[in-house]
């Protein structure tokens, strides 16, 4: 078999559809026991990339509200849980409170998380926002 130059290989790839190219990559990975995504992982591990990732963590815009415990006023907490978590029946709210620690709200904005935490703590619950 004649050896193809880089230019000839690129011309051949340009004629492939995305599906055909994807299939080629899979077969290439299996044949040579490599992963096409490896260079991206190396770039992410570079020192410059780590510095860029740190501000993203500080600007977190999705929070989870986790009920740690009901405290002494379990009935009040159940009422607030039903108010905070929409569509929850009395039985579901009671099971949620009794099964603490459990997440109540997931991936909500900071204002919603703080409002829910404030209401739950006022009812006597122990709550954390992560």
53 near 89, Cβ under 8 Å?
no
Report DSSP letters for 11-62, one per residue.
HHHHTS-HHHHHHHHHHHHHHHT--TTHHHHHHHTSHHHHHHHHHHHHT---
Please give the model's pTM, rounded to 2 decimal places.
Answer: 0.52
88 near 81, Cβ under 8 Å?
yes
Task: For residue range 72-121, list pLDDT tens digits in order.
Answer: 888 998 888 888 887 778 888 888 888 888 888 888 888 888 998 999 89
Per-residue confidence at 47, pLDDT binned at 50, 70, 90?
low
Architecture per CATH, 63-129: 2-Layer Sandwich (3.30)
Per-residue DSSP letter, 102: E
Q: Domain boundaries in the chain?
A: 1-36, 63-129
């Amino acid at each position: 078999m004649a050896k193809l130059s880089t230019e000839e290989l690129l011309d051949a790839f340009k004629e492939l559809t995305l599906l055909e190219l994807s299939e080629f990559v899979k077969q290439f990975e299996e044949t040579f026991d490599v992963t096409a995504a490896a260079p991206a992982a190396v770039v992410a591990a570079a020192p410059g990339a780590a510095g860029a990732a740190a501000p993203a963590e500080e600007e977190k815009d999705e929070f989870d509200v986790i009920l740690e415990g009901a405290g002494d006023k379990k009935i009040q907490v159940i009422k607030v849980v039903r108010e905070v978590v929409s569509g929850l029946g009395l039985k579901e709210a009671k099971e949620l409170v009794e099964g603490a620690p459990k997440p109540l709200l997931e991936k909500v904005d900071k204002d919603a998380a703080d409002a829910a935490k404030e209401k739950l703590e006022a009812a006597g619950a122990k709550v954390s926002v992560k």
